[in-house]
Amino acid sequence: MTIQPSACPSGDEKVELFGLLLETNARLARTLGLELEAECDLPLAWFEVLLQLRRASESRLKMNQIADAIVHSTGGTTRLIDRLVEAGLVVRESCPSDRRAIYVAMTNAGDAKLDEALGVHLSYLDKNLAGRLSATERTTLAGLLVKLNASA
Amino acid sequence: MTIQPSACPSGDEKVELFGLLLETNARLARTLGLELEAECDLPLAWFEVLLQLRRASESRLKMNQIADAIVHSTGGTTRLIDRLVEAGLVVRESCPSDRRAIYVAMTNAGDAKLDEALGVHLSYLDKNLAGRLSATERTTLAGLLVKLNASA
DNA sequence: GACAAATAGTTGTAAAGGCAACTATACTGG
DNA sequence: CCAGTATAGTTGCCTTTACAACTATTTGTC
């Protein structure tokens, strides 16, 4: 009844790969999250929102775009943005062309906070990404992830 | 209209890669989690535990090994295992050589549940992994993730 | 135009997980 | 052997998030 670990851990190469993806991600997210929290007092989810906003044209996105970008439920995103607003890092703005929609835009404080966090993030990445993968490998990895991510 | 990864103002290649990793993982985990939940009534975290147990010699692991393998806190793991025990999928066994430690072992029901879940998982993987990456690409990806994961 | 369906966002409720404090057991140096 | 420290696991308390139900608005159809 027991399965030999060396013979067939759980059998399938794809199962292994998926498990590896989950584990790698969980570890990196945990490490970075703790570091951001400790050095900038910024939860990882907040950092992700700010990063998405900076990427966006005019530094603003609608609620549903944020939810999609950071892969949260819409309800969860509402609460998350509530907290960012309360912290003064973003503001909600109404959308003239669609009165259901709400824009979320960065404040100056949010912008500054993101700069600070990016500093920590980059030093983290130097340790944990660049220290382990060459530039070529990183490019390859990014390409594979893009494929994986396509229209998931 | 919003997100322009190519013209990204926060533009470090490593930041991009990290974001991609987070996003890919979140999407895949979300999709698989929903599928497992819908078809087997099995939360993803439970699945991960059962998978780790099957991989282990004698189908059992100590609490801290589980916590480490699935990247949870020890407190969180205690609660998670509580739920699995209540569902009859695993049992706790005392460790004769160290009275602080506790083994978690699969029950027959847990073993059967894992078989069922692996069926769903594999069909999911065929759609979402094999459909997007060739066998060679999957091997490459696995290799890169192992490097990334090393002693995180 | 009006009604049905789709879409954007919020809220109630509940579950999952983290951290820190705690208990119990094991190890280590004197 | 004893004190001090390290380790295994559990528990209290809290935050975060998901899901489903709900409101408000828009769009598509006739």
Q: What is the model's pLDDT at position B6? A: 36
Confidence of residue B10 (pLDDT cuts 50, 70, 90): low
- Indicate whether B48 belongs to any domain: yes
**A137-148, pLDDT tens digit by residue?**
999 999 999 988
Does B17 sit within 8 Å of A141, measured CB to CB?
A: yes
Q: Quick check: is B102 in a domain?
A: yes
Asked whether A60 and A106 are in contact (CB, 8 A), the reply is: yes
Total CB pairs under 8 A between chain A and B = 190
Q: Cβ separation of A57 and B26 shorter than 8 Å?
A: no
Q: Report yes or no on A141 lying in a domain.
A: yes
Report the 10 Å Cβ neighbour count for A11.
14
**Shortest Cα–Cα distance, B130 to chain A (Å):** 8
**By percentage, how much of chain A surpasses pLDDT 70?**
91
User: Which long-range CB contacts under 8 A does B18-22 form with residues at least 24 apart?
Assistant: B18/A28, B18/A32, B18/A121, B18/A125, B18/A129, B19/A48, B19/A51, B20/A142, B20/A145, B20/A146, B20/A149, B21/A24, B21/A25, B21/A28, B21/A145, B22/A25, B22/A29, B22/A48
Smallest CA–C1' separation from B97, nucleotide: C26
Yes or no, beta carbons of B133 and A148 under 8 Å apart: yes
Q: What is the mean pLDDT of residues A111-122?
A: 94
Asked whether residue A34's C-beta has any atom of DNA/RNA strand C within 7 A, the reply is yes
**A98-107 average pLDDT score:** 96
The answer to whether position B65 is within a domain reads: yes
CB burial of residue A150 (10 Å; 0-12, 13-18, 19+): exposed
Nearest to A48 by CA among A86, A94, A87, A81: A81
Q: Which has the minimum average pLDDT: A5-14, A61-70, B59-68?
A: A5-14
B20-31 mean pLDDT: 92
Q: Which residue of A has its CA nearest to B147?
A: A132
pLDDT band at B1 (very low <50, low <70, confident <90, very high): very low
Mean pLDDT of chain B: 89
A70's tokens: 């950071």
- CATH number, residue B86: 1.10.10.10
CB contact under 8 A, B133 and A144: yes
Is B66 within the bounds of a domain? Answer: yes
The burial class, CB within 10 Å (0-12 / 13-18 / 19+), for A80 is: buried
Name the residue closest to C12, CA to C1'. A75
B110 found inside a domain: yes
Of the two residues A90 and A13, the one the predictor is more confident about is A90
Q: Residue B104 in contact with residue B44, Cβ under 8 Å?
A: no
Residue A10: per-residue pLDDT: 54
* pLDDT confidence tier of residue B140, bands split at 50, 70 and 90: very high
**CB-based contact, B73 to chain A, within 8 Å:** no
In a domain, B21, yes or no: no
How confident is the model at residue B148, as a pLDDT? Answer: 86
For the range B63-70, what are the long-range contacts, defined as Cβ-Cβ under 8 Å and sequence gap of 24 or more? B63/B101, B63/B102, B63/B104, B64/B101, B66/B104, B69/A23, B70/A23, B70/A26, B70/B45
Please tell me the total count of domains within chain B.
Answer: 1
B69 CB within 8 Å of a chain A CB: yes
Bases on strand D under 7 Å from any protein CB? 7-12, 16-21, 24-27
Q: Which structural domain range is residue B104 located in? A: 42-133
Q: How far apart are CA B4 and CA A69, in angstroms?
A: 12
φ, ψ of residue B102 to 5 degrees: the values are -135, 130
**In-domain check, residue B121:** yes
Residues 58-117, chain B, CB closer than 7 Å to nucleic strand C: 71-77, 79-80, 83, 98-100
Range B23-28 average pLDDT: 92
Condensed to tens digits (0 to 9), the pLDDT of residues A1-43 reads 333 333 344 568 889 899 999 999 999 999 999 999 999 999 9
